[in-house]
Structure 1
Amino acid sequence: MAELVIRKMELHDIEQVMEVEVATFTSPWPSSIFYQEIKENEHAHYIVVELDEIIIGYAGIWIVYDDAQITNIAITPKYRGQNFGQKLFQYIMQQAIKMGVARLSLEVRKSNVIAQKMYRKFGLIPGGIRKNYYADDQEDALVMWVNLL
Structure 2
Amino acid sequence: MINVEIIEFTDKYIDDVTEISKLSFKIPWSRESIEKELKNPFSKYVLAKVDNEIIGFGGMWFIVDEGHITNIAVHSKFRGLGIGSALLSSLINICKECNGVAMTLEVRFSNIAAQALYSKFGFKNEGVRKKYYSDNGEDAIIMWKHGI
TM band (smaller chain): over 0.9
Q: Which residue of 2 aligns with 1:93?
A: 92
C-alpha displacement of 1:94: 1.1
TM-score (norm 1): 0.95
**Partner letter of residue 104 of structure 1?**
M
C-alpha root-mean-square deviation of aligned residues, in Å? Answer: 1.2
Q: Which residue of 1 aligns with 2:11?
A: 11
In the alignment, the residues of structure 1 paired with residue 105 and residue 96 of structure 2 have an alpha-carbon distance, to the nearest angstrom, of 16
Matches within 5 A, 1:1-149: 2-39=2-39, 41-149=40-148
What number of residue pairs does the alignment pair up? 148
> Which deviations, in whole Å up to 9, do the C-alpha atoms of 1:78-133 show, x marking residues without a partner?
11111110111111101111111101000111111111111111110001000111
Counterpart secondary structure, 1:119: helix
In the alignment, the residues of structure 2 paired with residue 114 and residue 107 of structure 1 have an alpha-carbon distance, to the nearest angstrom, of 14
Counterpart secondary structure, 1:57: strand
C-alpha displacement of 1:34: 1.1
In the alignment, the residues of structure 2 paired with residue 91 and residue 45 of structure 1 have an alpha-carbon distance, to the nearest angstrom, of 10
In the alignment, the residues of structure 2 paired with residue 64 and residue 115 of structure 1 have an alpha-carbon distance, to the nearest angstrom, of 23
Q: Please, which runs of 5 or more residues in structure 2 have no aligned partner?
A: none
Q: Please, which runs of 5 or more residues in structure 1 have no aligned partner?
A: none
**Partner letter of residue 7 of structure 1?**
I
C-alpha displacement of 1:2: 4.8
TM-score (norm 2): 0.96
In the alignment, the residues of structure 2 paired with residue 141 and residue 98 of structure 1 have an alpha-carbon distance, to the nearest angstrom, of 28
**Partner letter of residue 146 of structure 2?**
N
4+ runs of 1 displaced by more than 3 Å? none
In the alignment, the residues of structure 2 paired with residue 14 and residue 20 of structure 1 have an alpha-carbon distance, to the nearest angstrom, of 10
Is contact 1:109–1:139 with CA below 8 Å preserved after alignment? yes
**Partner letter of residue 47 of structure 1?**
V
